[in-house]
Amino acid sequence: MRPIRTGLIGCGHWGERLARNLAALPSFRLETVCDLDPARAWAVAVGYDVERSTVDAATLLRDGTLEAVVLATPASSHVGLAAAALEAGLHVLCEKPLALSAAAGAELHERARRSGRVLLTDHTELHSGTFRALADRVVLGTLGDVRKVRLVHENAGTGPWDLDLLWDLAPHDFAILEALGAGEATAVELRDSNGGSPDGPLALALRTAAGWEVELRLRRGAPERRRELEVRGTRGAVRAGGFAPGEPVLGRDGGADEWTAVEAVEPTEPLRRLCETFAARIRGELPPGGNGAGEVRILQAIEAAARAWHRR
pLDDT in tens, 241-278: 999 998 999 999 877 778 999 877 888 999 999 999 99
User: Would you say the C-alpha torsion 6, 132, 223, 213 has a positive or negative sign?
Assistant: positive
pLDDT higher than threshold 70 for residue 184: yes
* 96 and 139 co-located in one domain: no
User: According to the model, what pLDDT value does residue 288 have?
Assistant: 77
| Domains of the chain: total | 2
Structural domain includes residue 295: no
pLDDT at 254: 75
Strand partners, 157: none
Q: Are residues 130 and 265 in the same domain?
A: yes
Same domain, 186 and 248: yes
Q: Are residues 306 and 172 in the same domain?
A: yes
Task: Give the CATH number of the domain where residue 70 resides.
Answer: 3.40.50.720
Identify the CATH number of the domain in which residue 227 sits.
3.30.360.10
Question: Is 114 in the same domain as 8?
Answer: yes
H-helix or E-strand spanning residue 204: strand 202-208
Cα distances (angstroms) measured from residue 265 to each of 125, 196, 240, 273: 14, 39, 11, 14
Q: What integer best gives the mean pLDDT of the chain?
A: 94
**Is 18 found in the same domain as 136?**
no
Q: Are residues 62 and 85 in contact, defined by beta-carbon separation less than 8 angstroms?
A: no
| Domain assignment of residue 289, yes or no | no
Assign 312 a pLDDT band (cuts: 50, 70, 90): low
Q: Do 259 and 162 lie in a common domain?
A: yes
Report CA torsion sign: 52, 57, 59, 64: positive
Q: Cis bond leading into 201, ω under 30°?
A: yes
Considering the domain architecture, whether residues 130 and 267 belong to the same structural domain is answered as yes
Of the three residues 62, 91, 122, the one that is the final residue of a domain is 122
| Same-domain status, 141 and 260 | yes
The reply to whether 167 and 101 lie within a common domain is no
Contact 52, 32 (CB under 8 A): yes
Which tens digits make up the pLDDT trace of 153-179?
999 988 888 899 999 999 999 999 999
CA distance 92 to 27: 15
Residues 98 and 186 in one domain: no
**Residue 59 sits in the same domain as residue 80:** yes
- State which residues form the domain around 180: 125-271+300-310
Model pTM above 0.85: yes
pLDDT band of residue 213 (cuts 50, 70, 90) is very high
DSSP codes of every residue in 156-201? SS---TT--HHHHHHHHHHHHHHHHT--SEEEEEEEE-GGG-TT--
